[in-house]
Amino acid sequence: MTNAIFSTWNDKLLDGRSSNTTFTSEQVGLPLTYAEDKDVNAIIGWSGIVLNNENTNIVSLACEYVKAVSMITCGECSIGFHGVKMSEDILNNLVQGTGSAGDADKLLYIIENMKSNTKCNFCSSAMKAVHDCLVYFKNDFEVASSPHEPYKKASVIVNVSAPCVEACPIHQDVPGYINLIKNGRYDDALELIKRNNPLPECSGNACMASCERNCVRKDIDKPVAIRALKRVACEYGTSNPVEPTKLNGEKVAIIGAGPAGIAAAKRLISLGYRPVIFEMNNGYGGMLSTGIPEYRLPQEIINKDYNEIIKLGAEFRGNTPISQVKDISGAYKATIICNGATLSRPSNIEGWTENDNGMYQGIHYLKSVYNKKIMPVSEHVVVVGGGNTTIDCARTALRQGATDVTILYRRTMSEMPAYKEEIDAAIKEGIKFEFLTIPVKVQRGENKVVEVVCQKIELGEPDESGRPRPIPIPGTEYTIYCDKILSCIGELPDTSIYGSKINLTDDGRVLTDKYGATSAKGIFAAGDCVNGPSSMAEAMASGKRAAEGVDLYLNKNSKIKQSKQEVFDTYHQAFLEKNVDEAFNFKMEKQESPVAELTYIRDNYEQVEKVLSKEQAEREAERCIKCYKVMMIARD
Amino acid sequence: MVKLTIDGKAIESKEGKTIIQAASDNNIVIPTLCYNEELTPTGSCRVCVVEVIADGVSTLVSSCDTPVKEGIEVYTNSENAIKARKYAIQMLYSQNSEAPAIRALAGKYNITEKLPVEESECIGCGRCYKVCSEVVERKCIDMSVGGLSNMNEKLSVKWNFDNCIACGACAYVCPTHAVSIHDEDGVRTMITPNAKHEFSMKKCSDCGKYYAPNVQIEWMKEKTGLSDDKFDRCMDCR
Ligand code: SF4
Ligand code: SF4
Ligand code: SF4
Ligand code: FES
């Protein structure tokens, strides 16, 4: 167990140098090792410096760190920009042995002035750590200012992120593309987005936007419209046309063309492999097309993203369901399973019969509508659940001709996992909500559902998920008349195709390591079949990681930097924290995306949300306060 | 209304105003450089820094882009504020010691020593960017800045002359004359920190004098919807 000897993290001074005391990770407030047991010598970042190994060369550490900070400093104020540049020069001299007496004082003068008067928090908080070095390791800087042999360069891992970036599973450079949009550089914004997003159009239109839920601006007024701005970049920007890439690598099979599969394909192409995608449906998209209704994500938008990756060099075999993984895995050096979570959890409502006339699992209902297997009828519909599928089902039911739609949810509106905008849109379209309610029994009449018996709930202590546990209240049963009931209580992967060599978790998901490797050699898995039902962005991240896993497996000289990833994962929580002083930030009005005024709703699958205008987009982009944070880890 | 004090004086100000507006409404002058009343603040030069005490906590803020808040005490010339302001002026002076606006500030605050930074006419104040996007509404100027993916150039203002109507608003607001316009022989030349561009000008159909760049006249036509003949004479002959 590594302990720290010195720390200023989180404004807490822990100095055990003279007393030979050490401090635990809890005391410091940061992990002190990564990947369970790998030692860190020092950590330096936006909140201070932590030292585990007393022999670390502080001057050279500070120098490397300021080099990293200097890559990010923006230049919106000269005090920050030039302050960082000057510090870099001085530190460089100190490391090279070409410094002079008084350098430490100059550095202190510059940094003290930066701390009090920069435009945003970035440079001032980033340089606080160097200030700490100067104050608490004064002697080291004085020694460095007399002539000496150049110091050895520390071996470091740098991570730059922001609370929004960190909350995004694929780590989009949110402030980066927003700043480009602010300056009207739509083409560049799109290029930047595409660097780590294989599906810019799809995510611009229908991402769950976990970034927005962690946007610092949320504490000032409202989160920046990060997703809508991505759509803006896709709409007004043109990126370089893609050219088919020359690929000489091995062929890799991918089962399923959902977001995990296509993200894996794109990453494999960038690593030189030739991905072959087997898809049971005819078209592109997997759950994106069958699970997200057209009024949110039209098929032509999905096709735009997919066509590009196919053109890059992915082979697509549609209408090709795989009944056993081993049927194809034998012919490929590696296989990535991305078959999603397409089977429904058994419903525990009394009287429920699977896919019976009038009773549907949510995702099957959406898929049947997508495949035009269910025709619009006037009827009363009840939807059970609180996630995005629930809202999708409810709004789709309305478009399928329902006269009224009621959502039953066992907690309250604030606990609903569904996207806030979607809930609002559902309310606007006239969907009714019954909160703190569960269905207990479906009553059937002749050949069809006639009513559902409900029961009221009270909320108890928080459960494992942190949300209050629902407890039914006896004697509160009542009935709602309905013709159709849709249950959206979660999905599981179709495990029948896996065979016996692939180990599963207790609840029926594929068990993998961090890089998607399953227990069967050469077989990887990614997306919902590993994580359970989750977002498009999580699926993309997981697909990408599995592609890297394939490279680590097939290529002895793989360039995938595992330790870098381990460090990123270790300090994820610290980067997620929002620590911008909002006291003096101006409130700025959020630009809302225009919405289609639907004059009729039955059979109308027009996309409801419209794109922001350029003027709106540039104004919205002004709201981003660029909350970048830098952290550097030194190993030996 | 928001109640606050500035330099000990009790003041009432409308919500949403900045500290500098509240001060100037009460005849308290705070030195500035990048601030321009007609534009939204860029907050880049930091000269207008003041000390604010809110709930017993003291912070330094730029008064041009910080809103007033109930109960705060503002000190425009406290020791901390002066110290920070001096450094901000020293930074400007180190980059450009010729511009009269900067010399005046340096003189007033006795700044003679320079910091080791690269000298440049443009001090990145952002006024040109603001005037072009907010007033002229052409958005020719790009001030994209650093970031995670290094997609942006550093500390630079770049002109996209395809959008530019050569109106000269940017030159007019530039505090250091890093942007300027010159008319000669029917050509308007715009000189910006890193590029030069020439625009042909239109001749007055009466007196024969060149009076405005063609692109600007096209733009006026488009904006007003008036016919060609409304724009073929100079101001004097109209
Ligand atoms: S303000 Fe900008 S950088 Fe900060 S969290 Fe929000 S989107 Fe990200
Ligand atoms: S001259 Fe060109 S760049 Fe300058 S303000 Fe006018 S339109 Fe904008
Ligand atoms: S060119 Fe002038 S107005 Fe524009 S940023 Fe530079 S100094 Fe400011
Ligand atoms: S005048 Fe306020 S920051 Fe320049």
Residue-wise pLDDT for A322-331, tens only, equals 999 999 999 9
> Between A36 and A308, whose confidence is greater?
A308
Strands A432-434 and A380-384: unpaired
Residues 6+ apart with CB under 8 A from A546: A260, A264, A336, A338, A512, A515, A516, A524, A525, A526
- The span from the CA of A420 to the CA of A363, in Å, is 20
Cβ pair A164, A152 in contact under 8 A: no
d(CA A294, CA B127): 45
Q: Which of A118, A185, A584 to mutate to test the interface with B (most CBs of B within 10 A)?
A: A584
Backbone angles phi, psi at B106, to 5 degrees: -60, -40
- Residue B82, chain A, CB below 8 Å: the answer is no
Residues of chain A with CATH 3.50.50.60: 163-342+499-560, 345-492
Nearest by CB to A79, from B46, B61, B65: name it. Answer: B46
Residue B67 in 3-state DSSP? strand
Q: Which two tokens stand for residue A118?
A: 């920069």
Cβ separation of A71 and B146 shorter than 8 Å?
Answer: yes
Query: Quick one: how many helices (H) and strands (E) in chain B?
Result: 6, 11
- In order, the DSSP letters of A487-502 are E-S-EE--GGGS-SSS
pLDDT value for A1: 61
Predicted pLDDT at A475: 92
- pLDDT of A585 reads 66
Q: Average pLDDT for residues A191-218, to the nearest whole number? A: 94
Q: Which residues surround ligand 2 with Cβ inside 6 Å? A: B 131-132, 136, 138, 140-141, 159, 164-170
| Mean pLDDT to the nearest integer, A470-498 | 90
Q: Which residues of chain B have pLDDT under 50?
A: 152
Q: Round the average pLDDT of chain A to a whole number and report it.
A: 91
- Would you identify the CATH topology of the domain A163-342+499-560? FAD/NAD(P)-binding domain (3.50.50)
**Nearest-CB residue to A628 (from B69, B95, B148):** B148
| CA–centroid distance, residue B46 to ligand 4 (Å) | 5
Task: Report how far apart, in Å, the C-alpha atoms of A525 and of each of A504, A521, A617 are.
Answer: 11, 12, 38
pLDDT of residue B232: 84
Structure pTM? 0.87
Rounded Cα–Cα distance for residues B50 and B5 (Å): 13
Residue bearing tokens 């043109």: A238
Confidence check: pLDDT of A469 > 90: no
* B176 or A467, greater pLDDT: B176
Instruction: Report CB contact under 8 Å: B147, A183.
Output: no
CATH topology of domain B2-108: Ubiquitin-like (UB roll) (3.10.20)
Q: What is the pLDDT of residue A582?
A: 54
C-alpha neighbours within 13 Å on the C-beta side of residue B21: 19
User: Which helix or strand (DSSP H or E) is residue A376 part of?
Assistant: none
Over residues A241-263, mean pLDDT: 92
- pLDDT score, position A423: 94
Interface of A with B (CB under 8 A): 71-79, 81-82, 85-86, 89, 110, 113, 116-119, 160-162, 165, 173, 175-176, 179-180, 182-185, 188, 191-192, 195, 583-584, 586, 618, 626, 628
pLDDT greater than 70 at residue A519: yes
B32 pocket-lining for ligand 3 (C-beta < 6 Å): no
Residues of B in contact with A108 (CB under 8 A): none
Q: Is the pLDDT of residue A587 over 80?
A: no
Pair of tokens at residue A92: 């460089």
Q: Considering the domain delimited by A345-492, tell me its CATH architecture.
A: 3-Layer(bba) Sandwich (3.50)
* DSSP-derived 3-state class of residue A27: helix
Q: What is the mean pLDDT of residues A456-483?
A: 89
- Report yes or no: B30 at the A interface, CB cutoff 8 Å: no
Please give the Cα distance from B55 to A403 (Å, whole number): 56
Structure tokens at A340: 């999603």
List strands edge to edge, sheet with A48-51.
Answer: A14-15, A6-7, A48-51, A42-45, A629-635, A155-161
Domain residue ranges in chain B: 2-108, 127-237
Instruction: Kindly state the tokens that stand for A15.
Output: 């100095």
Ligand nearest to the CA of B33: 4
- Which pairs with CB-CB distance under 8 Å and at least 24 residues apart come from A278-284? A278/A253, A278/A254, A278/A317, A278/A320, A278/A322, A278/A328, A279/A316, A279/A317, A279/A318, A279/A319, A279/A320, A280/A256, A280/A319, A280/A320, A280/A321, A280/A322, A281/A257, A281/A318, A281/A319, A282/A318, A282/A319, A283/A318, A284/A257, A284/A316
What's the rounded Cα separation, in Å, for the pair B76 and A232? 42
Nearest Cα residue to B91 out of A122, A127, A78? A78
Q: What is the pLDDT of residue B150?
A: 54
Show the CA angle centred on residue B231, arms to residues B228 and B237, nearest 5°: 140
Q: Cα Rg for chain B, rounded, in angstroms?
A: 21
Please check the confidence at residue A384 and state whether its pLDDT lies above 70: yes
Residue B59 in contact with partner chain A when CB distance is under 8 A: yes
CA-based nearest residue in chain A for residue B147: A72
Nearest-by-Cβ selection for B148 from A72, A184, A584:
A72
Using an 8 Å Cβ cutoff, are A289 and A281 in contact?
yes
* pLDDT reported for residue B157: 83
Ligand 3 pocket, B174 CB below 6 A? yes
- Beta carbons within 10 angstroms of residue A513's beta carbon: 11
Distance from residue A626's CA to the centre of ligand 1 (Å): 5
Residue of B52, B61, B62, B85 to mutate, ligand 4, most atoms within 8 A of C-beta? B62
Tokens 């350029």 belong to A614
Give the residue from A172, A256, A185, A248 showing the smallest Cα distance to A214.
A172
What percent of chain A is predicted at pLDDT more than 70? 98
In the numeric block, the tokens 């025709």 are attached to: A375
- Mutate which of B18, B29, B30, B45 for ligand 4 pocket (most atoms within 8 A of beta carbon): B45
Chain mean position to CA A224: 16
What local confidence, expressed as pLDDT, does residue B147 receive?
A: 56
**How far, in Å, CA of B146 to CA of A431, rounded?**
46
Contacts of B87 in chain A (CB under 8 A): 79, 113, 117
